[in-house]
Amino acid sequence: MVIRIAAVETPPEEFLGWIPSAVTIDTGKVVVGYYDTIPAGLLLFTVEGVTASVVFHYVQPELRDLGIGEQLLEEALRVAERAGCTTCYGWVSPGDRIAKLTYEAQGFRSDQIRVKKEI
């Protein structure tokens, strides 16, 4: 099986159902991943000035642990650097150790922690 990663202008049709409605895709950059011909992963990020921000990073659960998430992030960083970015932010949900490790493997470091309490 072959993993293919590519930056594209817009998400292909087969990826659209993965994107939460709160995420806008018309102003961002898109990186897709396939495992052979199977849609495997998607990363969306924005560029504002010299800052890139990952707004959505997803890999199909049955295809995790194959390095697809890391390869999506690597390609996004290359695209961001070519766009003139000097910084990239990624957001990780509390307790999502796998996502945190994925970002840290690419040299990301935590710079803030947000806490919340329902009242």
pLDDT tens digits, the chain, 119 residues: what are they? 799 999 998 889 999 888 888 787 676 899 999 999 999 999 999 999 999 999 999 999 999 999 999 999 999 999 999 999 999 999 888 888 888 888 999 999 887 776 777 88
State the first-to-last Cα distance of the chain, in angstroms, to the nearest integer. 50
Q: Which CATH number fits domain 3-105: 3.40.630.30, 1.10.238.10, 3.30.479.30, 3.20.20.80?
A: 3.40.630.30
Per the CB < 8 A criterion, the answer to whether 57 and 73 are in contact is yes
DSSP state letter for 118: -
Two tokens, residue 17: 């159902």
